[in-house]
């Protein structure tokens, strides 16, 4: 375990484990925290995992971790690692099993008081129309060969099928499609697992949540996004389902051989990787992009289901029940980007595992409507607490390769949460607070209890206080839908 004397505090919210800590480190390891979060971070092996990532071939600048850091597979969840092209590595463990698990934020012009009488019916409609649960199939039946088109075209497939609008794609990271996805690099097993799951929520920490805007911190930015006090919003948090999980499993196995073939020395076999320029690295990148595109489509089809749920429940009762998209961002991705390192612009492969992109104002990849304020950043909290909307900053570009946290971060394992928390009691407590709950499993609900996570407001204060993101709005939950 890494103790207090192994790192130094270099700013109010920033700590560093120096390169000299271990002989195999290629760069220092940095992490963001405050004193309270630091105690939680030291409760597992996440800092040790962070140090391990600092040994990876091709890594530049720092191995980084966000304040929601916790132990993961090889890389810590909340970790950010950039490796220099062409021969820096790409690692499935640096992306995660749920490739492009991400968050989409939708908004409305409905006031909280208007929707309150219909919340129970809306929660039930969302639960019915948006299938959730392990292995759960969706309502969309793909034609033979259509999955290959979907994983290569991403949200453009949804647009041609009538599940998306042009505005939805404009307000999605990468317009909902990573170029270079190749269905031929995805196994038949992965395709079989994914073909019936388009437009499904899954299980675990995935959810749909109806929220109200609790407080605005940056009025100009909020207004530009279409966020106003007491207005109703909807969050979707899910990813690439069985397809993404199988792709990760397939390439973890395949790249074990590549580690030996290319003579890579790793402190943990879970860091399995390959040079990005290698055939194995390129194949994984093409398959990962396919899973990412699948996830964009998955959230897009769920958006379509959410819109029809609002129509079913609110038509004739609330005048304007239109649901529009604010933004959709990914976490659990590896992307080739240009960043400044040691005064030079270089191409790097940025792994964001349980971390999300947070590009600052002026970035040419942002939609025109947001380019002057910075990228919207969506950070969901837990069922009984709050979620946050932020924007990326110039500081995030210089400090963290344009990255921040993706959530609150666990402090209690899923198995421990199930032992210590009763799902039925948790549901009762949430409903006493006025939060409608629809869940297929009480044990699954217990896994995601607020007490199993860090304080999301504290996590947000760290990223805001360190300058790598700026607060825009705080959201509070009114209804939670889980698999």
| Residue 383 assigned as binding residue | yes
| Residue 400 assigned as binding residue | no
Residue 300 tokens, joined:
């897009």
For 13-17, the CB contacts below 8 A with 24+ separation are: 13/67, 13/462, 13/465, 13/466, 14/466, 16/62, 17/47, 17/50, 17/51, 17/54
In SS3 terms, 64-109 reads as EEEEEEECCCCCCEEEEEEEECCCCEECHHHCCCCCCCEEEEEEEE
Pairing of strands 436-439, 8-11: unpaired
Q: Terminus-to-terminus CA distance in the chain, angstroms? A: 36
Distance between CA atoms of residues 58 and 83, nearest Å: 5
Q: Is the dihedral of CA 239, 367, 409, 77 positive or negative?
A: positive
272 SS3 class: coil
| Spatial contact of 390 and 329, defined as CB atoms under 8 Å apart | no
Closest CA relative to residue 89, chosen from 215, 277, 365, 266: 277
Distance between CA atoms of residues 408 and 387, nearest Å: 9
| Residue 380 assigned as binding residue | yes
Question: How many helices and strands in the chain, by DSSP H and E?
Answer: 16, 17
| Residue 194 assigned as binding residue | no
| Residue 205 assigned as binding residue | yes
Residue 448 tokens, joined:
């995601």
The set of residues, in sequence order, having a beta carbon less than 8 Å from that of 209 and lying 6+ positions away, is 234, 235, 237, 380, 383, 387, 477, 479, 480, 481
Does the annotation mark 351 as catalytic? no
| Residue 469 assigned as binding residue | no
Q: How far is CA 41 from CA 121, 267, 415, 438, in A?
A: 40, 21, 19, 31
Distance between CA atoms of residues 436 and 445, nearest Å: 13
| Residue 209 assigned as binding residue | yes
| Residue 139 assigned as binding residue | no
The torsion region of residue 204 among left (phi > 0), alpha (psi -120 to 50) and beta comes to left
Q: How many residues does this entry show for the chain?
A: 483
Looking at the DSSP bridge assignments, the partners of residue 453 are 410
Rounded to 5 degrees, what are φ and ψ at 28?
-70, 165
Q: How many CB atoms lie within 10 A of CB 238?
A: 28
Catalytic residue among 305, 321, 406, 464: 406
| Residue 207 assigned as binding residue | yes
| Residue 408 assigned as binding residue | yes
| Residue 98 assigned as binding residue | yes
| Residue 125 assigned as binding residue | no
| Residue 100 assigned as binding residue | no
| Residue 332 assigned as binding residue | yes
| Residue 114 assigned as binding residue | no
Known binding-site residue numbers for Mn(2+): 98, 206, 237, 331
Q: Which residues are catalytic?
A: 406
Q: Summarize the annotated binding site for GMP as residue ranges.
A: 205-209, 331-332, 380-383, 387, 406-409, 482
Q: Which residues contribute to the annotated binding site?
A: 98, 205-209, 237, 331-332, 380-383, 387, 406-409, 482
């Amino acid at each position: 375990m890494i103790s207090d004397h192994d790192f130094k505090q270099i700013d109010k919210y920033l700590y560093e484990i120096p390169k000299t800590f271990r002989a195999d480190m290629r760069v220092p390891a940095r992490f963001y925290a405050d004193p309270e979060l630091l105690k939680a971070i030291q409760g597992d092996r996440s800092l040790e995992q962070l140090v391990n990532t600092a040994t990876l071939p091709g890594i530049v600048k720092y191995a980084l971790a966000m304040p929601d850091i916790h132990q993961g597979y090889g890389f810590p969840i909340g970790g950010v690692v950039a490796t220099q092209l062409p021969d820096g590595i790409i690692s499935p463990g640096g992306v995660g099993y749920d490739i492009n698990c991400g968050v989409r934020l939708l908004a409305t012009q409905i006031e909280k008081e208007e929707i309150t009488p219909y919340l129970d019916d809306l929660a039930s409609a969302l639960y019915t129309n948006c299938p959730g649960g392990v292995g759960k199939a969706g309502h969309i039946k793909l034609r033979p060969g259509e999955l290959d088109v979907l994983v290569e075209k991403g949200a453009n497939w949804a647009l041609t099928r009538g599940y998306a609008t042009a505005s939805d794609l404009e307000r999605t990271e990468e317009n909902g499609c990573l170029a270079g996805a190749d269905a031929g690099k995805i196994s038949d097993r992965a395709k079989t697992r994914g073909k019936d799951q388009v437009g499904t929520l899954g299980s675990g920490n995935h959810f749909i949540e109806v929220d109200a805007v609790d407080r605005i911190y940056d009025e100009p930015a909020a207004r530009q996004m279409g966020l106003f006090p007491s207005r109703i919003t909807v969050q979707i948090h899910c990813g690439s389902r069985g397809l993404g999980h199988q792709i990760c499993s397939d390439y973890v196995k395949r790249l074990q051989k590549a580690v030996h073939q290319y003579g890579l020395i790793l402190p943990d076999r879970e860091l399995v990787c390959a040079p990005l320029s290698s055939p194995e690295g390129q194949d994984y990148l093409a398959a990962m992009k396919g899973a990412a595109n699948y996830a964009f489509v998955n959230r897009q089809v769920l958006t379509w289901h959410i819109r029809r749920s609002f129509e079913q429940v609110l038509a004739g009762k609330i005048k304007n029940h239109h649901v529009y998209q604010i933004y959709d961002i990914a976490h659990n991705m590896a992307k080739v980007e240009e960043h400044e390192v040691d005064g030079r612009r270089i191409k790097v492969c940025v792994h964001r595992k349980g971390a999300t992109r947070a590009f600052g104002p002026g970035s040419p990849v942002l939609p025109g409507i947001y380019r002057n304020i910075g990228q919207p950043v969506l950070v969901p909290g837990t069922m009984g607490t709050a979620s946050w909307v932020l924007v990326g900053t110039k500081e995030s570009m210089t400090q963290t390769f344009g990255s921040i946290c993706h959530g609150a971060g666990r402090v209690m394992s899923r198995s421990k949460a199930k032992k210590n928390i009763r799902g039925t009691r948790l549901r009762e407590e949430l409903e006493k607070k006025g939060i409608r709950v629809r869940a297929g499993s009480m044990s699954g609900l217990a896994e995601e209890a607020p007490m199993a996570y860090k304080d999301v407001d504290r996590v947000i204060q760290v990223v805001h206080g360190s300058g790598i993101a700026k607060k825009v709005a705080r959201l509070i939950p009114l209804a939670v839908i889980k698999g």
